[in-house]
Amino acid sequence: VLEGYVDPRERRREGPFGDHTGYYSLVRDYPVFHLTAVTRRARPIYPTTIVGRPPQEDYWLGKATERLFLPVIRLLLPEVVDMNMPAEGIFHNLVIVSIKKRYPGHARKVMTALWGMGLMMLAKTIVVVSERVNVHDLSEVAWRATGNIDPRRDLMIVEGPMDDLDHAALRHRYGGKLGVDATEKSALDDVAQPWPDEIVMTVEMREQVTRRWKEYGL
């Protein structure tokens, strides 16, 4: 147990530190904690974690938090099916969400709602896909996102609060955000051309190939 005090008027230079972003944090002024007492066990255990370019130990803490908060998000946004904040996105830099899309603009509604939920305001990029997409399969997400978007129609750029450690932001703690509507489009979305069917192998074809596999000599 650490005891002490913080003077809200006092700041000192801190950094650079190797952080969970995979980069060294920038040197900035931060509050100062004055330590006055330490209380500990006779044989204390010091819990710590190593941070750095992901995935490191702290990634699994973030993943657990994602799983814990998903049911809470569903209470407010029942159309949300699943969510993934992959290691490559440093938690908040990339949020992939699958939804039960029911009307035009539904993906944008979900993006803006998520940006309005507590620390989800720090999410830099939100990609919304349809309900049947496995958000944990980054290859599938990339395929659908690149195939289902028209940049002029499906990208939304806004500005808002950013993470304290985001070195690429417009300025400290404030910058741009990207929303990507990677859902399939239909006549309800007023698209200019018909949306094609996805190639699907039928159960019968799969069973036939399996049954005759030896005949193919492959």
Distance CA 85, CA 94 (A): 6
The residue type at 169: A
Per the CB < 8 A criterion, the answer to whether 131 and 98 are in contact is: yes
Of 19, 163, 181, 189, the catalytic one is 19
In whole angstroms, give the CA distance from residue 81 to residue 159.
26
Which structure tokens are listed for 199? 């190639």
Q: Rounded distance, CA 107 to CA 113, Å?
A: 10
pLDDT reported for residue 195? 87
Q: Which regions of 131-171 does DSSP assign to beta strands (E)? A: 155-161
pLDDT at 97: 98
The pTM of the full predicted model, rounded to 2 decimals, is 0.87
**Using CA atoms, how far apart are residues 41 and 34, in angstroms rounded to an integer?**
22
User: If the chain, 218 residues long, is cut into consecutive pieces of 10 residues, what is the mean pLDDT of each piece?
Assistant: 96 91 92 96 88 87 94 97 95 95 96 96 97 96 94 96 94 97 89 86 90 88
Maximum distance among all Cα pairs of the chain, rounded to whole angstroms? 80
Note the pLDDT of residue 159. 97
Q: What is the pLDDT of residue 102?
A: 94
Roughly how many angstroms between the first and final C-alpha of the chain, as a whole number? 67
Give the Cα separation of 59 and 53 in Å (integer). 10
Picking from 69, 77, 94, the residue whose alpha carbon sits closest to that of residue 179 is 94
| pLDDT score for 124 | 97
Determine the distance from the C-alpha atom of residue 74 to the mean position of all C-alpha atoms in its chain, rounded to a whole number. Answer: 16
Assigned CATH topology for domain 57-189: UbiD C-terminal domain-like (3.40.1670)
Active-site residue 19, yes or no?
Answer: yes
Q: Which SS3 state, helix, strand or coil, does residue 35 take?
A: strand
pLDDT at 72: 96
Q: Report the pLDDT value the prediction gives residue 211, as an integer from 0 to 100.
A: 92
Provide the pLDDT for residue 13: 95
